[in-house]
Amino acid sequence: MGLVWILPITALSSIQDLPHFYDADSSRENDSSFQTLINHLAILDEPVSREGTGVIIAQAPGERYRLQFRLIARGPEACRLEIFDPFGRPMLYLVSYLGESHLFSVAQKREIPFKQSLFEPWPTMAQIPVVEMLKLFWGRVPLLSYDSHQIDINKKEGEKTVKLILFGPVRQVLWITQEPFTLIKSQIINLSKDEDVEIVFSDFSEVAGNRTPMRFEIKDGTGGNMLTIRYETLVLRPDISDEIFKLSRLSDS
């Protein structure tokens, strides 16, 4: 499988025929409650700027890797994700900045290309731009293009859960609790590729008045391939400089 497989967030940002993503300013729907819901999903909760550390666990049949990470970010558009081996030695730096994404190998001391073949377990997600996948660290998911939608509301033991289904070339299902607003799960179903992927958020903690997931998992329908990312520390950082996102700083790290 290879260690870099653990990074579906490093998918190709330049391949053709990418899925389209929802624009929060779009007004193509007349249903105001639906529009409010979808806009909330498209916008990250403030404050966005943060620093966190934690672990990454990647599992596939017969394989398991446990690595460490450090995230320094003003948001998905200005983000530095550092990956360390089990002994704490730096391996990879992923930087999203000024509309571009770069992957830097510490061992090779140079930028290396993204490789789509590394994301074979989840073909649809392998086509999603890096900046969209980075939203997972903020408890959000990429919103795929859709033609129609359906909203189901389930009230159980005093808690209301909204199930939002977006029908399009790839079907996307989202489960949300509204008090407070929390995305708890998303499912991507690509019938043309026989693909079923779940993203589950858990271990919620109060961060600056918002419920923030400290853990998320990406897994296929069989559970054979799974990626778990868990924060161990998370603090707000309003003072992050542009310098930390520059490639020249990476080569000196």
DSSP per residue over 131-151, as a string? HHHGGGGGT--PPBP-SEEEE
* pLDDT single digits (tens) 151-194: 998 887 677 899 999 999 999 999 999 888 899 999 999 888 78
Asked whether the whole model's pTM tops 0.75, one would answer: yes
The answer for residues whose C-beta is within 8 angstroms of residue 137's C-beta and 6 or more apart is 52, 71, 73, 76, 79, 229
Mean pLDDT of 20-29: 43
**Per the structure block, which two tokens stand in for 129?**
């731009």
Q: What is the pLDDT of residue 16?
A: 34
Q: What is the pLDDT of residue 12?
A: 34
Q: At 42, phi and psi to the nearest 5? A: -85, -10
Q: At 197, phi and psi to the nearest 5? A: -125, 135
Q: What is the pLDDT of residue 147?
A: 94
Taking the C-alpha atoms of residue 71 and residue 20, their distance in angstroms, rounded to an integer, is 26
Q: Which residues pair with 175 in a beta bridge?
A: 163, 185
Q: Which residue has the higher pLDDT, 120 or 217?
A: 217
Q: Which residue has the higher pLDDT, 101 or 249?
A: 101
The answer to whether 105 touches 92, Cβ cutoff 8 Å, is yes
The answer for residues whose C-beta is within 8 angstroms of residue 197's C-beta and 6 or more apart is 122, 124, 125, 187, 188, 218, 219, 220, 221
* pLDDT single digits (tens) 123-132: 788 788 889 9
Confidence of residue 220 (pLDDT cuts 50, 70, 90): confident
Peptide bond just before 123 cis, omega within 30 deg: no
Burial of 40: CB neighbours in 10 Å, binned 0-12, 13-18, 19+: middle
Side-chain-side CA neighbours of 60 within 13 Å: the count stands at: 12
Kindly tell me if the per-residue pLDDT of 35 is higher than 80: yes
Walk me through the domains of the chain, giving residue ranges and CATH numbers: 30-252 (2.50.20.10)
The answer for residues whose C-beta is within 8 angstroms of residue 87's C-beta and 6 or more apart is none
Confidence of residue 115 (pLDDT cuts 50, 70, 90): low
* pLDDT single digits (tens) 70-98: 999 999 999 999 999 999 999 999 999 99
Mean pLDDT of 202-209: 85
Q: What is the pLDDT of residue 140?
A: 96
